[in-house]
Amino acid sequence: MYIEKKEQVIIQNFEKNGYLIFKPEDQKILNNIKSKFLSFLAKKIYNKKSKNESYILNNIHKYIEKKKLNDFRLDIIKKINSTNEIKEKVYKLSKKYLDTLVGNELVIQKRINLSIQLPKDSSSLLPLHADTWSGVSPFELVVWLPLVNCYETKTMYILPSHKMKKYESKLINKKTKSSEQIFNLIKKDLIWLKVNYGEILVFDQSLPHGNIVNREKETRWSMNIRFKGIFTPYGDKKIGEFFEPITLKPVSKKGMNYKLPGQ
Ligand SMILES: [Fe+2]
């Protein structure tokens, strides 16, 4: 095998479960991202910084009305995407795992996504789905980075790879079944991913996943962004509009531009 032992462990884990949770070595980068988020919050919230950063994020529902949540979320998404800084940091934090699981010539999703799940809020839920069921390429990997500790209903769930076989034939009928019916069918095998702040989750979006109403007392903040190999097949999300190359190698560049002399 050409693959190093350390990488083999990562691969085996990922292949068994369809996801991995890891703790990046450089926690400073993570803290930096978190502080950046705090600086994006409106002055009136940020000024109440008598409490620590985690407190403010976990308790943002005490500062924002539910009906204003979507505008608030869109405004922060705009801010985090105004430069490549956060995307670059997320890439750096996950690079070791992306290299092993996806490859080293990658495209990144152009716009990083943010999910804010307030307690008891049912307005921005993601019912059970697999992204591939709606035209997403199975070659994509999602990096999911929480800014607060995520657990129980404050987190997302996934059906691990090793349980997929059991349901595959039943899921073929997915078009005739509602998300809710599928959820009830596979409920007992779903894993509620406990991901603490300081950790990163990568998962296979072709596995059924989603979330339910957050019944915890704290708000969930998590970012998600996709990566795939530049030369792997694309689904509905195309290079240029949805993805951009970040690590194209010189020989690939040369190959793409090569013309036989005289042509
Ligand atoms: Fe998804």
Q: Is residue 248 one of the residues assigned to a domain?
A: no
Token duo for residue 208: 């059924």
Instruction: Find the domain containing 154 and state its range.
Output: 5-232
CATH of the domain at 190: 2.60.120.620
Q: Is residue 260 one of the residues assigned to a domain?
A: no
Give 96 Cα–ligand 1 centroid separation in angstroms: 23
Q: Is residue 209 one of the residues assigned to a domain?
A: yes
Predicted confidence pLDDT, tens digits, the chain (263 residues): 789 999 999 999 999 999 999 999 999 999 999 988 888 886 657 665 556 888 989 999 988 887 888 888 899 999 999 999 999 999 999 999 999 999 999 999 999 999 999 999 888 789 999 999 999 999 999 999 999 999 999 999 999 999 998 888 777 665 667 888 889 999 999 999 999 999 999 999 999 999 999 999 999 999 999 999 999 999 999 999 999 999 999 999 999 999 999 87
Domain count, the chain: 1
Give 150 Cα–ligand 1 centroid separation in angstroms: 17
Token duo for residue 245: 């190359």
Q: Is residue 241 one of the residues assigned to a domain?
A: no
Token duo for residue 3: 């693959």
Give 158 Cα–ligand 1 centroid separation in angstroms: 10
